[in-house]
């Protein structure tokens, strides 16, 4: 893995290197851990770049007031540094882009089931019937 020059494009929604995606799939923001939604599914990882064995990871937060930011930063660094060929990692929060629900993976969106604004749903009962998951 030495000499990796992989990175996500600047749009924040591009694919992360597969090794980084795999490494971070088990890292959770404590607010979403009970639902099994990782930092990858939340769209919190904006980019991963590696140069000379040092990874630079950029994260977005769902809120600037997130009380768990330090925990997430530490867990991300630990997972990235444990990868072959990575000798160190600089994990930082970026503030030049706001996190939005557009960054959620389809899986996370399904679990969180964000609702449209009421004005976009002319028939509430029909909407609920069409989008309810039957209990097993």
Q: Kindly report, residue by residue over 2-36, the tens digit of the pLDDT.
A: 444 444 333 343 579 999 999 999 999 888 888 89
107 located within any domain: yes
> Residue 31: which CATH number?
3.30.300.130
9 located within any domain: no
Task: Calculate mean pLDDT across residues 79-107.
Answer: 94
pLDDT value of residue 136: 53
| C-beta of residue 97 within 8 angstroms of C-beta of residue 60 | yes
Instruction: Specify burial of residue 59 (Cβ count, 10 A radius: 0-12, 13-18, 19+).
Output: buried
Per the structure, how many domains does the chain have?
1
Q: Which of 31-35, 38-42, 52-56, 80-84 has the lowest mean pLDDT?
A: 31-35
Cα–Cα distance for residue pair 85/73, rounded to 1 Å: 20
Cα–Cα distance for residue pair 55/52, rounded to 1 Å: 8
113 located within any domain: yes
Cα–Cα distance for residue pair 82/25, rounded to 1 Å: 14
6 located within any domain: no
Task: Calculate mean pLDDT across residues 67-88.
Answer: 93
- Which residues constitute the domain of residue 101? 18-131
pLDDT value of residue 37: 93
What DSSP string describes 33-66? GGGT-BHHHHT-EEEEEEETTEEEEEE--S-TT-
């Amino acid at each position: 893995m030495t000499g990796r020059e992989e990175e996500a494009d600047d749009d924040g929604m591009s694919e992360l290197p597969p090794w980084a995606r795999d490494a971070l799939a088990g890292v959770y923001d404590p607010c979403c851990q009970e639902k099994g939604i990782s930092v990858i599914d939340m769209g919190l990882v904006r980019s991963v770049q590696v140069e000379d064995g040092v990874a630079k990871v950029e994260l977005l937060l769902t809120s600037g007031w997130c009380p768990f930011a330090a925990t997430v930063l530490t867990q991300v660094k630990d997972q990235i540094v444990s990868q072959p060929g990575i000798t160190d990692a600089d994990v930082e929060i970026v503030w030049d882009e706001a996190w939005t629900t557009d960054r959620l993976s389809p899986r996370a969106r399904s679990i969180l089931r964000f609702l449209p604004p009421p004005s976009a749903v002319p028939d509430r009962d029909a909407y609920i019937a069409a989008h309810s998951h039957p209990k097993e």
